[in-house]
Amino acid sequence: MSDVTLRLNGVEKFYNKGLANEVHVLRGVDLALNAGEMVALVAPSGAGKSTLLHIAGLLDTPDAGEVSVGGDVLSGRTDRRRTNARRRDIGFVYQFHHLLPEFSALENIALPQMANGVAKAAAEIRGLELLGKVGVDHRAGHRPAALSGGEQQRVAFCRALANAPRVMLADEPTGNLDPGTSDQVFEALMELVRGTGLSALVATHNLDLAARMDRVVRLEDGVLVQG
């Protein structure tokens, strides 16, 4: 695994910078994700892991340092360029699925592809392929309200991978599920990552799940440490 898909170099982030209540959230964070690698991000609540994920995913900008995706430095670029890179190269999964309720599971996966110019028929073929990988292709025509929590999150994984990104960023992706369902859904996520060769940074409080990934990084006092 030598191909670096995501790199953070010296990333700094402040809130209320220069004020009496200034908070130094990230203090020179360095991280490299390799293709095909799953990395667990572990941190206490309020430590800044969501901030780190948002910066890594080009949703927020660092106050210092660089963010590179596929070797292309994107921190400091225009909003349009970062948005295009995010749509093309990064998939997001959150604790809550955020599926569009008025559309079916398949439509939820096809729509991001169609927004990127893929024809509807081709988008649906890929959607069915992804749903098959996580074992819910038989639920393709159902709207989110008719799906179980585990099924909804599997669909959310597929949506995140719809445009074949280089990187998946997941913020507590199984945190809203019961332990048994959480384990099954995490297995589905691992199979998707392994089967596509992308890299994944997964924030989790579940140390058992973290231990099943390739490595663990911890955010402590704004700095990433291994293990």
Tens-place pLDDT, residues 24-77: 889 889 999 998 899 999 987 777 888 999 999 888 889 899 998 888 888 778
Both structure tokens of 214: 């390739």
Q: What pairs with residue 171 in β-bridges?
A: 203
* Tens-digit pLDDT profile for residues 176-211: 777 777 888 788 788 878 877 789 999 988 888 889
Q: Is the pLDDT of residue 23 over 90?
A: no
How far does CA 199 lie from the centroid of its chain? 9
pLDDT, residue 18, reads 67
Q: Domains plus CATH for the chain? A: 36-61+78-226 (3.40.50.300)
Q: What is the C-alpha to C-alpha distance for residues 227 and 42, in angstroms, rounded to an integer?
A: 9
Name the average pLDDT for the chain.
Answer: 87
Do 175 and 95 form a contact (C-beta atoms < 8 A)?
yes
* Tens-digit pLDDT profile for residues 124-145: 999 999 998 888 899 999 999 9
Query: What is the spatial order of strands in the sheet that 38-42 belongs to?
Result: 90-93, 167-171, 199-203, 38-42, 215-220, 223-226
Q: Is the pLDDT of residue 118 over 90?
A: yes
Q: What is the C-alpha to C-alpha distance for residues 192 and 185, in angstroms, rounded to an integer?
A: 11
Q: Is the pLDDT of residue 1 over 60?
A: no
pLDDT, residue 223, reads 86
pLDDT, residue 61, reads 87
pLDDT, residue 227, reads 66
pLDDT, residue 167, reads 92
* Tens-digit pLDDT profile for residues 70-98: 888 887 788 888 888 888 889 888 877 78
